[in-house]
């Protein structure tokens, strides 16, 4: 009896991906996100604890990606965070969403939301920024942080599946040339 076309397994098809690999990829992303957030919060804490050199290195290292204007940053222990309120929101939202990710969907699923959702995620931040820079509305620390957190949280839904997919590709091996499942 001929085999059904549905039973065809390509020799290039990856093996079934283990949950362990997905969890490893998630843990890696979560670790980097928390480390990054730790640096941002750690800079003022280090400065207040007298570790000026450590704080100096963190502040200068993150200067390339943020203006670090003290009046636009949250303050901790008498010193501003290493990035502004909007950037803090983006990174905090991203870290929170990465941590909560396994609660919202299975880690092995690697589909990402449609790109329209990313535009929707960016809209509040763009709105807040545009209104602020044009002087139509004086945005606040809270508005900058919350709109940034909204954006960062959505970004996690594109980054975690990507990391899981990379882990899947790294863990997969071709099954061999005789891959036809003819039972």
For another protein, the binding residues (CB under 8 A) are: 2-5, 7-8, 10, 12-14, 32, 50, 52-53, 56-57, 60-67, 69, 72, 83-84, 86-87, 90, 109-112, 114-115, 118, 129, 132-133, 155, 158-159, 161-163, 165-166, 169, 180
Residue 71 or 103: which CB sits closer to another protein?
71
CB of 59 to another protein, least distance (A): 9
Q: What angle do CA 87, 91, 92 make, to 5 degrees?
A: 110
CB of 165 to another protein, least distance (A): 4
Are 48 and 11 contacting, i.e. CB atoms less than 8 angstroms apart?
Answer: no
CB of 125 to another protein, least distance (A): 8
Mark residue 50 as left, alpha or beta (left: phi above 0; alpha: psi -120 to 50; beta: remaining). Answer: left
Helix (H, G, I), strand (E, B) or coil at 181: coil
Are 74 and 39 contacting, i.e. CB atoms less than 8 angstroms apart?
Answer: no
Mark residue 137 as left, alpha or beta (left: phi above 0; alpha: psi -120 to 50; beta: remaining). Answer: beta
Residue 70 or 162: which CB sits closer to another protein?
162
CB of 11 to another protein, least distance (A): 9
Cβ contacts of 160 within 8 Å, gap of 6 or more: 25, 26, 29, 98, 101, 107
CB of 94 to another protein, least distance (A): 9
CB of 162 to another protein, least distance (A): 4
Are 175 and 116 contacting, i.e. CB atoms less than 8 angstroms apart?
Answer: no
Beta bridge partners of 75: 80
Residue 7 or 142: which CB sits closer to another protein?
7
Residue 76 or 118: which CB sits closer to another protein?
118
Are 2 and 168 contacting, i.e. CB atoms less than 8 angstroms apart?
Answer: no
Residue 76 or 131: which CB sits closer to another protein?
131
């Amino acid at each position: 009896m001929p085999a059904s076309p549905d039973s065809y397994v390509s020799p290039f098809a990856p093996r079934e991906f283990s949950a362990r690999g997905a969890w490893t990829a998630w843990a890696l992303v979560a670790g980097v996100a928390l480390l990054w957030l730790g640096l941002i919060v750690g800079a003022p804490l280090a400065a207040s604890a007298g570790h000026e050199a450590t704080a100096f290195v963190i502040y200068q290292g993150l200067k390339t990606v943020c203006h670090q204007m003290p009046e636009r940053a949250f303050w901790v222990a008498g010193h501003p965070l290493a990035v502004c309120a909007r950037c803090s929101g983006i990174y905090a939202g991203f870290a929170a969403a990465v941590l909560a990710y396994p609660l919202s969907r299975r880690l092995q699923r690697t589909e990402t939301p449609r790109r329209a959702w990313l535009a929707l995620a960016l809209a509040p931040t763009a709105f807040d920024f545009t209104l602020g820079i044009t002087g139509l509305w004086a945005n606040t620390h809270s508005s900058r942080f919350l709109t940034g957190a909204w954006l960062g949280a959505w970004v996690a839904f594109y980054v975690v599946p990507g990391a899981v997919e990379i882990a899947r590709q790294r863990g997969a091996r071709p099954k061999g040339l005789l891959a036809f499942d003819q039972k």
